């Protein structure tokens, strides 16, 4: 928490500083910038992303722009690290510096899914497990109900390569379709939401569901899967109480 | 520990402060309030409950009342967060603010089980695992002996929904019967005890037993289950030594 | 480390203070007392014992006496908590206060095994797993080689009860025989050594071996067990380098 | 981080201090010494090595020399603990004190593999698991792609003994061949790289891959292994972003 607040203070300084690269996007509002930084750190702290995952948010004014940190370890993110891109993955604002080559994941999903305002890309071990198995990831806990419409698997070649250009980004977005998550074969997963908190909460919930499902398979007997009605992922989840706890854990870590 | 003590000091201040809502229940004695707050934090610290679990205690004077925190993350609980309810789930004391919609779990079990003075509701992964399996949870360690009479599963619809009203609360209490724990399909578990320490100790023990049983199923061979005599859960366990350690762990965390 | 050193300072004070109970045993030398306290804390810190495990050391002067803490959570042990018992489990020195009812484990093994100078009793989950399975615990890592002569299982009734008197203690010691460890059905394990460091190091190694063996069973295929020559547990292991690291971890925890 | 920096300061002092043993190797440049110390601590902090693992780096001037800490717990390493050896395992520089008896692992691999500049030896539980199984370790995540050419198993007798002389070191190096890792039956693994960061990053990635593969085997269904082209381990990986995060975790631990 202290780190996040310090990062915010730093952000306010940065907000008035001239930037080296030509910009067209006005800065992300400070509250949203702080929330995006917190999302990065929470996902790391909860074990969902590691040093190569990322989370983005759609610009609240221009829906063709989105914000994400520059290519750093997300556990080190501050609001001074944010960059803005358009839906073709071209930088339109924020700090200069190396950009994530996988920003096309975010760009093309924001393009294809106007209802989505936040995208998480993670290499969570439990989700990679399901990405190379023919056992489907299915809800076994209320924390994973939102995935009731299924979690498809996108394969990028033979080696679980990342998404480094627009065509493969479009392919991934097509595989995601109207669902809330897509697995990436041998690589990771993408989870989307109407808000940053929803995307983060779902990423944490999907990992939990996957781990419980792996436990279930280590036992004999029949799994009594939950059967949510179609469209379980349409409504935005409320993760405010979780957020207060995850922020506290950041602080006491 | 320091946090808990600070919370107690805050509680003493609160105890003499006028409350906004009309009350009929006198405050919970400070020692019991402190113990209930500690129970919340211990269950979080030991990995048994997360941001949506809760623990309650029956009022020592009026057996038709019980105490529980308002709807917050239990890891953040202080004695200033306590609310009192009657056995129909109507608030009768404590602070104002949002109440747990799942308070009917506690209300209806306190109604049905006069011998029970504390109720834990948890979404422990190991217990959710057994809640969607046809493999019964059975004692494999002395820490789980109290569950020797069996742990039934209560199903609430197809999606592991929580308990948000009296009729479903009564249904859950009926499934619990005279036992010490009931699993909630795809959702979690409820564990009861004659004291707060017993309910907390049993919740931690049941999680441990479930994890060991999952390990056993990952091996071939035959499981040599423990066979406690009927009524193993009738006597209140003594968890005082555990409590001293869990309190220490809170402090050093 | 700091806690351990402070505990030692406290011990020196205690050593000259008159004790309430009549004593026949002179105090344990300070260095040995400090090492025994460290053993308690290391075993907790490494996840091998919890709030109900214990570790003892034979008195260096009188081989019919041994030292162990009074009945407290071992993570809280200080040298001011040490008690001495004879091999019938009668207190002969140290502080007054509640004694472990399971001290007969230690007493009767020290009686039966003159070569043993330290005994660990643990409820390690991985070891309880093997205690209720017909799959034998066998070496799969050099850390578990000392158990090459096999780890028998002692059953105490149907419910994994502890060892609370001399006859059952003798039964356990008989099951242990000349080996380095014995599992207690549904309850835990006992690990012995020629020194405190050896007993502690073996307890940590046996847990590691058990967890790796459980992993192996979750995979198909054949396990290529290690085949140590008979008597692998006869020689005392050298755990000095491990000890330096475990002490450091206590300090930085 | 602070510890590492303090260690560096200490190293600068040491660098000018006369050493007891006759030396032929000039000191390792300070930046490389600091990196090697960090590698030790990172591997411990990430759970890949424990108290008996080690990591080495080839001398940048004399390719027939390499550096490694003296025989201490690697989590306690400082730059004042470094020793230099030639490719026969004879000390040629650095501090006096006990040397790792397993230094022949490093010596003989540096001898056999001129392309390798860093060697990690670890007793990682997940890797020991595969070392005593006939299930081959294969890539299921991009983090393990570098092992696409296979990970052979070297057996040293019946008890998973370490590598304590040149002939067995040569045998291990022969089993490694041109690959990036070799398992040691019942003992551990060796992972090599063109740089310290590559060897460390691969060791962490191989552990992750092994753990995910174990998860996969606990599920029914077919594993869709990644199929990297031959020579996946030829190119040095870029682990700079990971390194920044692992260093941060050292600091905040």
Query: Starting at the edge strand that comes first in sequence, how are the strands of the sheet with B188-193 ordered?
Result: B91-94, B82-86, B65-69, B54-58, B118-122, B188-193, B181-184, B153-154
Chain A residues touching residue B125 (CB < 8 angstroms): 141, 208, 211-212, 215
Structure tokens at B126: 């190991």
B138 Cα to chain C: minimum distance (Å): 12
A70 touches chain D (CB under 8 A): no
3-class SS of residue D5 = helix
With contact defined as 3+ CB pairs under 8 Å, the chains touching D are A, C
Of D158, D116, D145, D118, nearest to D36 by C-alpha is D118
Of C104, C100, C113, nearest to C180 by C-alpha is C113
Name the residue in chain B with its Cα closest to that of C156: B226
Chain C residues touching residue D161 (CB < 8 angstroms): 142
For C161-205, write each residue's pLDDT tens digit. 899 999 999 999 999 999 999 999 999 999 999 999 999 999 999
What chain B holds in terms of domains, given with CATH numbers, is 2-252 (3.40.225.10)
D216 touches chain C (CB under 8 A): no
How confident is residue A8, by pLDDT bands cut at 50, 70 and 90?
very low
Cβ–Cβ gap D73/C223 under 8 Å? no
Report whether pLDDT(A10) > 60: no
Q: Identify the residue whose tokens are 């029956």.
A: B58
- Tell me the backbone φ, ψ of residue A97, rounded to 5 degrees: 120, 170
How confident is residue D10, by pLDDT bands cut at 50, 70 and 90?
very low
Mean pLDDT of the C3-22 span: 42
Structure tokens at C84: 């001495």
Mean pLDDT of the D78-99 span: 98
Cβ–Cβ gap D75/C208 under 8 Å? no
Cβ–Cβ gap D132/C225 under 8 Å? yes
For C112-152, write each residue's pLDDT tens digit. 999 999 999 999 999 999 999 999 999 999 999 999 999 99
How confident is residue D112, by pLDDT bands cut at 50, 70 and 90?
very high
* Catalytic positions of C, written as ranges: 102
The whole-chain average pLDDT of chain A stands at 91
pLDDT at position D13: 39
C128 touches chain B (CB under 8 A): yes
How confident is residue D109, by pLDDT bands cut at 50, 70 and 90?
very high
Q: Are residues A106 and A88 in contact, defined by beta-carbon separation less than 8 angstroms? A: no
> Is the pTM for the entire model greater than 0.95?
no
Mean pLDDT of the D170-178 span: 98
Dist CA B77 CA A253 (whole Å): 18
D134 Cα to chain C: minimum distance (Å): 6
B159 touches chain A (CB under 8 A): yes
pLDDT at position D23: 58
pLDDT at position D69: 98
D75 Cα to chain C: minimum distance (Å): 7
Q: How much of chain C, in percent, has pLDDT values that exceed 90? A: 84
* Catalytic positions of B, written as ranges: 102
Of C220, B150, A235, nearest to D218 by C-alpha is C220
pLDDT lower than 50: segments of chain B: 1-20
Higher-scoring residue by pLDDT: D175, A234: D175
Cβ–Cβ gap D242/A161 under 8 Å? no
D133 touches chain C (CB under 8 A): yes
pLDDT at position D106: 98
Return left, alpha or beta for A186; rule: phi > 0 is left, psi -120 to 50 is alpha, else beta: left
Kindly give the pairing relationship between strand D181-184 and strand C188-193.
Answer: unpaired
Count chain A–chain D contacts defined by CB atoms under 8 A.
Answer: 94
Report whether pLDDT(A110) > 90: yes
Question: Distance between terminal CA atoms of chain C?
Answer: 10
pLDDT at position C1: 39
Mean pLDDT of the A156-180 span: 95
Count chain C–chain D contacts defined by CB atoms under 8 A.
Answer: 93
Q: Are residues B108 and B177 in contact, defined by beta-carbon separation less than 8 angstroms? A: no
* Catalytic positions of A, written as ranges: 102
The residue of D47, D138, D142 whose CB has the most chain A CBs within 10 angstroms, and thus the best one to mutate to test that interface, is D142
Cβ–Cβ gap D159/C145 under 8 Å? yes
pLDDT at position D235: 82
pLDDT at position D253: 61
Report whether pLDDT(A2) > 60: no
For A116-132, write each residue's pLDDT tens digit. 999 999 999 999 999 99
pLDDT at position C252: 79
D116 Cα to chain A: minimum distance (Å): 24
Q: How much of chain C, in percent, has pLDDT values that exceed 70? A: 91
pLDDT at position D24: 84
How confident is residue A86, by pLDDT bands cut at 50, 70 and 90?
very high
How confident is residue A58, by pLDDT bands cut at 50, 70 and 90?
very high
DSSP per-residue codes, D27-60: PPPHHHHHHHHHHHHHHHHTTS--TT-EEEEE-S
Q: Identify the residue whose tokens are 């039966």.
A: C112
Kindly give the pairing relationship between strand A153-154 and strand A181-184.
Answer: parallel
Listed in sequence order, the residues at least 6 apart from B196 whose beta carbon sits closer than 8 Å to its beta carbon are B32, B35, B36, B39, B55, B57, B117, B118
With contact defined as 3+ CB pairs under 8 Å, the chains touching B are A, C
Q: How much of chain D, in percent, has pLDDT values that exceed 70? A: 91
- Helix, strand, coil shares, percent, chain A, to 5: 40, 15, 45
pLDDT at position C235: 82
Q: Identify the residue whose tokens are 């809330």.
A: A180
Dist CA A130 CA A105 (whole Å): 20
The question of ipTM being above 0.95 is answered as no
The whole-chain average pLDDT of chain D stands at 91
Kindly give the pairing relationship between strand A91-94 and strand A82-86.
Answer: antiparallel
Dist CA D106 CA D118 (whole Å): 8
Q: Are residues C71 and C91 in contact, defined by beta-carbon separation less than 8 angstroms? A: no
Q: How much of chain D, in percent, has pLDDT values that exceed 90? A: 85
B149 Cα to chain C: minimum distance (Å): 13
Name the residue in chain B with its Cα closest to that of A218: B218
Listed in sequence order, the residues at least 6 apart from B130 whose beta carbon sits closer than 8 Å to its beta carbon are B136, B137, B151, B153, B183, B210, B213
Write the DSSP symbol of residue A201: H
The three-point CA angle C49-C52-C53 to 5° equals 40
DSSP per-residue codes, D59-127: -SS-TTEEEEE-SS-GGG--GGGEEEEETTS-EEEE--SPPPTTHHHHHHHHHH-TT--EEEEE--HHH
D212, D228, D241 member nearest A73 (Cβ): D241
3-class SS of residue A177 = coil
Cα-based distances in Å from C221 to C136, C209, D42, D181: 17, 18, 33, 21
Mean pLDDT of the C48-53 span: 95
- Looking from the CA of D141 toward its CB, the CA atoms found within 13 Å total 28
Mean pLDDT of the A169-182 span: 98
Cβ–Cβ gap A133/D252 under 8 Å? no
Sequence-ordered strand ranges (E) for B59-136: 65-69, 82-86, 91-94, 118-122
3-class SS of residue A18 = coil
Query: Starting at the edge strand that comes first in sequence, how are the strands of the sheet with A82-86 ordered?
Result: A91-94, A82-86, A65-69, A54-58, A118-122, A188-193, A181-184, A153-154
């Amino acid at each position: 928490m202290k780190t996040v607040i310090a990062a915010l203070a730093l952000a306010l300084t940065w907000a008035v500083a001239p930037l080296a690269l030509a910009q067209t996007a006005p800065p992300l509002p400070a509250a949203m910038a702080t929330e995006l930084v917190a999302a990065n750190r929470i996902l790391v702290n909860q074990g969902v992303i590691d040093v190569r995952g990322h989370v983005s948010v759609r610009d609240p004014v221009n829906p063709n722009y989105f914000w994400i940190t520059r290519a750093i370890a997300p556990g080190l993110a501050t609001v001074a690290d944010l960059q803005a891109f358009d839906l073709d993955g071209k930088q339109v604002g924020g700090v200069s510096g190396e950009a994530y080559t996988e920003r096309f994941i975010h760009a093309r999903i924001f393009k294809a899914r106007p209802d989505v305002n936040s995208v998480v890309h993670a290499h969570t071990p439990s989700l990679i497990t399901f990405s190379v198995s023919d056992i489907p990831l299915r809800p076994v806990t209320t924390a994973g109900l939102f995935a009731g419409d299924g979690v498809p698997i996108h394969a990028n070649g033979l080696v679980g390569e990342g998404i480094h250009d627009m065509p493969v980004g479009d392919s991934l977005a097509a595989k995601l379709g109207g669902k809330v998550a897509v697995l990436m074969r041998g690589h990771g997963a993408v989870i989307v939401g109407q808000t940053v908190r929803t995307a983060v909460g779902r990423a944490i919930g999907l990992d939990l569901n996957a781990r419980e499902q792996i436990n279930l398979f280590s036992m004999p007997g029949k799994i009594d899967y939950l059967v949510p009605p179609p469209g379980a992922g349409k409504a935005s989840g409320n993760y405010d109480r979780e957020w207060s706890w995850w922020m506290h854990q950041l602080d006491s870590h």
